Amino acid sequence: MHKNGMVNGKGKKNNQNQIELLAPAKNMMAVKASAPYADAVYFGVEEFNMRMKSENFSLSTLPKIVQACHFPTNPTHRTRKVYLTLNILIYENELAALARTITAAKEANVDAAIVHDIAGIQLAKRIGIPFHISTQCNVSNSESAKFYEALGAERIILARECSLQQIKVISSKMDKAEIETFVHGAMCSSISGRCYLSQTIACTANKSANRGVCTQPCRGTWSLKHESGTEFLYDGLRILNSRDLCMINYIPQLVDAGIKSLKIEGRMRHPHYVETVTRVYREAIDAYYSGEFEEKLKTQRWITRLKQVYNRGFTTGFFFQRASEQDSQLRSPANISHYRYIKMGSIIHSYPTKVVKIQLTNGTLRVGDEVIVMSTKSRTGGETYFTQRIQDIRVGKSDVTQTSQATQQSPIEISTKLDEITSPDTGDAIFKFTDETYKNRKKSGKKSRAYNLK
């Protein structure tokens, strides 16, 4: 049995001496998506976390998540630790509910709670669950880190504003506590998200970033004018809109700095985003430990693959220098990738043999195509998620290598065998992740919102 009740199941065993890769999850589909690549997963429940707009999980699902991560039955899945985020500010009337949540986490064998408020620390210690100090605590020096270490923290998640050199010094001064840092994903223009701009503009604490319900006004365009009439002049671009952090090219430096866990931001992100990013970082980490990092950095197109999924452009944040205008995404507040998830059809019948009937309504399906099979009802229990290489296609009684083009008006019913069990009841469907529709619209000059495949 591993520390904190973690036991290896049938999945891949992890080298405990290597750096940890920590993946986000908004639902069970995302938990599954990172399973072949991540060493740990973090997520929130319906209360007390910094992504309250995410789907999140109910307390009753904690044992199921822990079971899936600690005892994977799929041999391609890794055994993973499980961390529960409880990192918002806590008010007096919420203490009892927070205690119940932490108790439920301990009973489910969650490996650690990620906390910000001192109340979270005190309750975690009292109830007896390991705890990590959230980046919301803005730990930026060794004295602060050692303060939390003395309180019993097993891990300190440093502020995003720390440089790599500062991280290395802090790490070297720790006695027991591990150091974790974010290495990929969305960045805040404020100090690790400790911001009141959203709450102030909305005139309500119900929109506070410190309570996990930020409306992200920093992503917009702004003008600044003093009551005297003096105006701050600039070109009207999105000066507060940070690019996304990306440290894929610097795995050796991160390991050398003494960091024990590399954290991917993304508890609002699509399961395929989670799969893609964790897969790329897993390849980079494994390449480092096998002595092949520099070679594979040149050949594996890591940055190109990361640019295909949701991103606002990339920056190395504060790791090497203070952030400047070049680290802001001035043009777009959201995703600049041209790739989209295009629904090709729905699974209308599934058999125990994993053969399914699919009603294609968009585009042409070919043997050899890679598609995403996933539920369209994740908020009501759908958990299906996997990528699939199409091995066979049957239309009527004939085996074909590709279908004719399907449309909403002229759907095509096909049969094929998939790798996993699916269900029409959870809205399982097949999707293509592609930039084809962008290219088609660009070529035609049309700005139609219809995503039609050929």
CATH number of the structural domain spanning residue 376:
2.40.30.10
pLDDT given for residue 297 in this prediction: 95
Pick the last residue of a domain from 327, 352, 371.
327
In a domain, 175, yes or no: yes
Q: Are 107 and 230 in the same domain?
A: yes
Token pair 């897969």 is found at: 279
**Cα 398 to chain center, whole Å?**
41
Q: Are 384 and 292 in the same domain?
A: no
Q: Which residue range(s) make up the domain with 308?
A: 3-327
Q: Are 365 and 278 in the same domain?
A: no
In a domain, 453, yes or no: no
Please list, residue by residue across 258-292, b when 16 or more beta carbons sit within 10 angstroms of its beta carbon and e when fewer do: bbbbbbbbbbebbbbbbbbbbbbbbbbbbbbeeee
pLDDT given for residue 54 in this prediction: 66
pLDDT given for residue 242 in this prediction: 76
Q: Is 65:82 a contact under the CB 8 Å cutoff?
A: yes
Pick the last residue of a domain from 293, 327, 361.
327
Q: Are 214 and 139 in the same domain?
A: yes
pLDDT given for residue 447 in this prediction: 53
* For the chain, counts of helices (H) and of strands (E): 12, 20
Q: Is 26:85 a contact under the CB 8 Å cutoff?
A: no
Q: Are 305 and 392 in the same domain?
A: no
pLDDT given for residue 2 in this prediction: 38
Q: Are 175 and 297 in the same domain?
A: yes
Q: Are 85 and 210 in the same domain?
A: yes
User: How many CB atoms within 10 Å of residue 302?
Assistant: 21
In a domain, 174, yes or no: yes
pLDDT given for residue 79 in this prediction: 98
Query: 3-class SS at 199?
Result: helix
Q: Are 323 and 389 in the same domain?
A: no
DSSP assignment of 293-340: HHHHHHHS-HHHHHHHSS-S-EE-TTSSS---GGGB--S-SS-----E
The CATH number linked to 147 is 3.20.20.70
pLDDT given for residue 46 in this prediction: 85
Q: Are 305 and 363 in the same domain?
A: no
Percent helix, strand and coil across the chain, each to the nearest 5: 30, 20, 45
In a domain, 449, yes or no: no
Count of the separate structural domains present in the chain? 2
Show the tokens assigned to 424: 């029409």
pTM more than 0.75: yes
Residue ranges of the chain whose pLDDT lies below 70: 1-16, 49-54, 190-193, 196, 209-212, 218, 232-239, 323-333, 438-452, 454
Q: Are 289 and 357 in the same domain?
A: no
Q: Are 105 and 245 in the same domain?
A: yes
